[in-house]
Amino acid sequence: MRSRTFQEYVQGPIQIGMGLGIISLLARWVTGTTILSSPESMVKYGVFGGIGYALMGAIALFMFSFIGKRVRQDFPVGLTIGDYLKARLHPLGYWILIVILVITSLHILFIQGMAASTLCQFLFDTPLYVGLFFFFAFCVLYAGFGGLKLIHGFAAFQVISMFAAVILIPLYFFVKEGIQPVYDGIRLYHPYMLVINKYDLWSFLFAGLLVGFGQFFFDLTSWQRLFMMEMKKVRLTFSLSGLIWIIFPLSFSSLFIMVIFTGGFTDIHSILAGLANKITTPFFFILFVLCAISAITSTFGACLHSLVSLIVANILEPLQTKKSDQQKIRMACLLSICIGGLVFVATLFYSPNLLELLFYSGNIYSALLAPILVIVFSKGKVADYIPISAVLAIVASYIIQPHVSEFQSIWFSGLASLTILVICTILTLIKNKWGIVKTKL
């Protein structure tokens, strides 16, 4: 039997079309965060917060379709985003963004670990470390060891189970209970959820767009899937994925409306417990559990595989002598175990609020938005000040964060990055023009 190559480990044996591309993107972006944070955003900012959360992700995926097409036109062949950055950046700027990519990817894995922790506490009457150990072991084995072929093998089942849950469970409940009792219950117990003119809501939506754009535009898995697609289908695949993705956060929010209209709640755990009591039919309860497990494992597996591929292809390989494909794959498997173990330990000993955790990295994604757009839409190699501007903006935003709101620090981060870019660009143009004038004189 022929051994698989490292390229097959990273990209699979075939180029993917529109159908598999959409499934692969949904498996990445329907996450544990989608399940738990979209209801939290609805609880904190009202029904329109849940709708806004859905719109932010859909718009970001749609906008990435334009970036993806431009990238594939300029750089038709690649394995990871690291390959593209290496072609567009000088060494200093390249390594700055590679380090940021690794940090943000570890953060995404940690968020999924926290979602798995919440789900394990809800489902299993066992010590938390037992449930988490099996979760991380499964993800490492199927994604870290199996590679993209096995990830795609699971993706179809995962997406089907998620679709079945988000369509059938709310439909069953609202046919059974009716819409009017739910509406009356929300007006009675949580009337603030129907308010749209809240300052916090608009702050949440605007900051969410900045974070969403930065996260989608700088995501390892999305870029990896981009290089696997047929070039002519890139824009349509990402656009349709965004259109379909919007169904999931809206449906997850409707699941939790099934609980909160009957009374009060304290946190996401109490909502999950209420949901378990509401879904009395065993079939639907099993379907919900399958949906939640599929969303978390598919995202964790895709992100783990993408991070390992980036480290092997763009960090370890340039620093070492050339390795064979089998050595690279063994290195990837070892890295998967190490990263899975690291996130497992971090998840056990640190338990922040999921929505706060999502926006804690918002400063980074907001600061990266302008630089990544400049890199993509510029011609040739770009100057080092472009990635450096993101670092300066991130540092400055975390310095002022204790003195402002979380949303204001996100806005500041994006604005600071853009301002530094504009100033440096103007100074560079003046310098170049002055140099030309001196040469002529």
DSSP letter at 378 equals S
The model's pTM: 0.88
According to DSSP H, which parts of 246-361 are helical?
A: 247-260, 268-278, 282-310, 317-319, 325-349, 354-360
Task: Please state, in angstroms and as integers, the Cα–Cα distance from residue 43 to each residue in 171, 313, 315, following that order.
Answer: 21, 42, 42
Q: What is the DSSP string of 328-371?
A: HHHHHHHHHHHHHHHHHHHHHH----HHHHHHHTHHHHHHHHHH
- For residue 61, give both structure tokens: 């995926």
**Mean per-residue pLDDT for 9-13?**
79
Sign of the Cα torsion 102, 107, 108, 114 reads positive
Model confidence at 437, in pLDDT bands (50, 70, 90)? low
Q: Which of 163, 162, 144 is nearest to 293 (CA)?
A: 162
Q: What is the mean pLDDT of the chain?
A: 81
**Phi and psi angles of residue 229, each rounded to the nearest 5 degrees, phi first:** -85, 155
pLDDT tens digits, 250-301: 787 777 777 776 665 655 666 666 676 777 778 888 888 888 888 888 889 9
Number of residues written out for the chain: 441
**pLDDT of amino acid 355:** 54
- For residue 100, give both structure tokens: 């940021």
pLDDT tens digits, 54-108: 788 888 888 888 888 888 888 888 888 989 999 999 999 999 999 999 999 998 8
* Residue for token pair 């472009």: 386
**Phi and psi angles of residue 89, each rounded to the nearest 5 degrees, phi first:** -120, 155
**Mean per-residue pLDDT for 199-215?**
77
**pLDDT of amino acid 282:** 82
pLDDT tens digits, 208-265: 788 888 888 888 988 998 888 888 888 888 988 888 888 888 787 777 777 776 665 6
Asked if residue 439 has pLDDT above 60, the reply is no
Asked if residue 1 has pLDDT above 60, the reply is no
**Phi and psi angles of residue 382, each rounded to the nearest 5 degrees, phi first:** -105, 160
Contact 409, 395 (CB under 8 A): no
Contact 421, 387 (CB under 8 A): no
Asked if residue 194 has pLDDT above 80, the reply is no
Percent of the chain with pLDDT over 90: 15
Contact 52, 204 (CB under 8 A): yes
Can you tell me the distance from the alpha carbon of 165 to that of 159, in angstroms, rounded to the nearest whole number?
A: 10
pLDDT tens digits, 99-147: 999 999 998 898 888 888 877 777 777 777 888 888 899 999 988 888 8
Can you tell me the distance from the alpha carbon of 123 to that of 117, in angstroms, rounded to the nearest whole number?
A: 10
Top-confidence residue, 333 or 175: 333
Interacting residues of 395 by C-beta distance below 8 A, sequence separation 6+: none
388-427 exposure pattern, b = at least 16 Cβ within 10 A, e = fewer: bbbbebbebbeeebeeeebbebbbbbbbbbbebbeebeee
**Phi and psi angles of residue 16, each rounded to the nearest 5 degrees, phi first:** -90, 145
Q: Which of 218, 164, 184 is nearest to 370 (CA)?
A: 218
- For residue 416, give both structure tokens: 């600071």
Percent of the chain with pLDDT over 70: 83
